[in-house]
Amino acid sequence: MDAMQYSKAPVLITHSNPRALVNHPRNTTDEQIKALAEKGGAIGLNAWSLFCEVRKGVRPTLEDLITIADYIVKLVGPDHLGLGLDIVPLWSPEGYEEWAKIYPKLRSKGGYLERTLFTNEEGQDDITRIPEIAKGLVARGYSDQDIEKILGLNFLRVFKGVCG
């Protein structure tokens, strides 16, 4: 909140989801999301399973991620949402375990094999599935213009606002 209050430029929250849908301390409150939007910033939709579990005890799906996107857009509009998926396609099981020792509260319930919505059965984050986000937004009635903003133009707008 301090960054949004004192910054003269737009602010990004790059890897977070609404706490109203998934109560995790890393997720962002509606108050923070609204302040971010008022400043002209954007929030990056996060695909880390722990931050997307809108159905308690059920591994999140792409549909859950689209539900989270819908929530943000209904709260502040399509000009304030981007992608901050938090995926690491080249992570090894050992690398994940070392990281999880340092950040145990960020360990996904399913561990290495279920850390993101895009993690496949081999434990790799399948970035070829990212276009499914656009398909999910189309299915929810989003315009091409709004989808382009969400997929990158909103972040570019903020970068230009910060960097000139």
Q: What would the mean pLDDT of 120-127 be, rounded to a whole number? A: 87
Instruction: Share the mean pLDDT of the chain.
Output: 94
Q: What is the DSSP letter of 122?
A: T
User: In this predicted structure, what is the pLDDT of residue 88?
Assistant: 80
Q: Return the structure tokens found at 135.
A: 């398909």
User: In this predicted structure, what is the pLDDT of residue 14?
Assistant: 95
User: In this predicted structure, what is the pLDDT of residue 127?
Assistant: 87
Confidence band for 123, pLDDT divided at 50, 70 and 90 = confident
CA–CA separation, 4 and 69 (whole Å): 21
At the second CATH level, the architecture of 2-163 is Alpha-Beta Barrel (3.20)
Residue 121 reports pLDDT greater than 90: no
CA–CA separation, 66 and 139 (whole Å): 10
CA–CA separation, 27 and 64 (whole Å): 15
Let me know: does 56 contact 12? Beta carbons within 8 Å.
no
Domain ranges of the chain: 2-163
pLDDT digits (tens, 9 = 90+) for 17-45: 999 999 999 999 999 999 999 999 999 99
Let me know: does 48 contact 116? Beta carbons within 8 Å.
yes
